[in-house]
Structure 1
């Protein structure tokens, strides 16, 4: 896509970000794109969010009052609407699936690899860990799918930034941790990874690996920032988020989803895979769908309805203790790994 003409080139664009290393790195990436494609000066403005404060206090975010409403999102949006920043950058899986008045999701830049990864002692893979190995993850989505693999792992809760999590492996406290590959890639820590998990084993969170760029809906930037958009990434996450939003109406189970745009015989095609599970992984509804990237949201809605008809809603009884504890961006679904977009 060719660069658009600069708008008010003398005005610095203020990009709001959380203070974590990953968040500022992500915001810095978007800032670089703005400088490159719009020819504008950019300033990063750090905003402390409710999620950051509870993380510092060690409070499980799924138990906080804001769990499920975007605990790393609301203060950034408040700063945006108050005119303290012009742009907000989020890990897209942090964003609730419902719209926020006055705020527009104006761009989804090229997505990082959305898969989950293992960081384990002695360079081990997940399958090489012995039964009873202590594996850290706070995500019900990951826990359910790991249980479903039947490896006999001891899955334990985990919070904190990348250094904290990997440090628990290095210290011998945990045998392994499971993280999002995208976060490690963005901060240059892929050398820590001992295995990248196939989505057939572990479907990622809807929107995982993607960034969301928001601004005020009535701001001129809402139009010009579209130059940051990657159409394939947008179509994929639109399908995943539409599926999630539809399932939220009748399913409290852990949910994983992954969409990809591929070349087909008649042009580009969208492929979407999804799973809803009971928290222990014993029950699951897995389905897939295809369609046109131009109708990505419709593909997501259609697949979600098929999953509900197949019994995804019936998983709710077994998922009741996990209600409000899904992936970060899951609107009413709450927290997966509610730290640094992992």
Structure 2
């Protein structure tokens, strides 16, 4: 809509060469991060941003190596909320019970603006926003994305962007790279990639793809890559996160596990943690690739989830199955 703004965002988005810009623009949009500022400054980075508007979309326990205590982890977000100035605004997702708890326990003087998933309908695998002006097609889908979209709409409205302007622009948004990214598709199948680094993200992504295409089989592959996900003590947080997949596969890179000085989990441990007894484990990327190449993808979607790269696994042959 032609509004000048600066930005600092972690994910790559189409239309931007770099995901950081610092100029004299009157607005800066920063992707918040609760991870440590630096080895010397153990505070979350988002404490330093001095926000006027905060969008709190969810509280999902990650960074187990930094915040091993869940109560301490939640407290970081409560502190962020309390940094909202009296003339500022806190926009928060009421669908997340932890967010609700944190907001309700706060006593900020700034405006509190709740939101949930934007009303939408799915027709033949496509999502349409339900608006007073009629259906608006969008390229993203899933409950989590529709929540984020509605939160973004609230931010835009707070910045002076009208509802009409928002609905004019949002159909062009393709999502961020590796965030429910469509890699390849044809009539009866599609291949997606997603960052999915935390249990809540994994569950939301797998559910979104299954709900978008309920008549297709879903093969979901999750690489456990972060310190938290590779830690057996954290594993119970993954219970039932892959229930919506018709076939659930886990990939572990033994070298990555060794670098983090953790124990390599076996298939039975993972099955008990995920509460899924047909879960399949691979610890060799070439064996995983061979298995994925052997599958018949007729009326099937393939979802690859990881904050890593499956030990540099070449995806070209797998992509060809979706030509």
Q: Report the TM-score range of the alignment, normalised by the length of the smaller protein.
A: under 0.3
More helix by share: 1
Higher relative contact order (CA closer than 8 Å, sequence separation 6+): 1
TM-score normalised to the size of structure 1? 0.26
